[in-house]
Amino acid sequence: MGGGDRIIKRPTAKEYQRLKRKNGLVDKTQEFKEWREANPEAYKAQQLANYAEKKGEIKKQPCEICKSEIAYKHHPDYSKPLEVVWLCPSCHKKLHLGILIK
Ligand SMILES: [Zn+2]
Ligand SMILES: [Zn+2]
């Protein structure tokens, strides 16, 4: 067999960057870096919470609002890093937007 099915076009560096941007990878990394620098308290709280979760001190739970299985840790108070609320991305966003509007 001639291996005719092995023609895989490799993306050029430029195409690769565009692909990354399209998938939001470039912007997310940059966004996260900016967020981390602007919110050192929040970042620290997240790091501590992630560590506690690894040690089993915090147990993963479904979203507290809609019970979605995909939930992430939200900190109502960054000075209490181990007090977390589990929220799915959409409820989390709504909550933060709600706080911002208030
Ligand atoms: Zn939810
Ligand atoms: Zn949050």
d(CA 8, CA 20): 19
86 secondary structure, DSSP code: E
User: CA dihedral in degrees (77, 79, 82, 85; nearest 10)?
Assistant: 10
Distance 74 CA to ligand 2 centre (A): 4
Task: Give the three-class secondary structure for 88.
Answer: coil
pLDDT at 102: 43
Distance 81 CA to ligand 2 centre (A): 12
pTM of the model as a whole: 0.65
Distance 90 CA to ligand 2 centre (A): 11
pLDDT at 3: 54
d(CA 64, CA 69): 10
Domains of the chain, by residue range, sit at 13-101
CB atoms < 10 A from the CB of 73, how many? 21
Q: Does residue 83 come out as left (phi exceeding 0), alpha (psi in the -120 to 50 range) or beta?
A: beta
pLDDT in tens, the chain (102 residues): 555 567 677 778 888 778 777 766 667 788 889 999 999 999 999 999 999 999 999 999 999 999 999 999 999 999 999 999 999 999 999 998 886 444
Residues whose beta carbons lie less than 5 angstroms from ion ligand 1: 63, 65-66, 68, 88, 91
d(CA 86, CA 76): 11
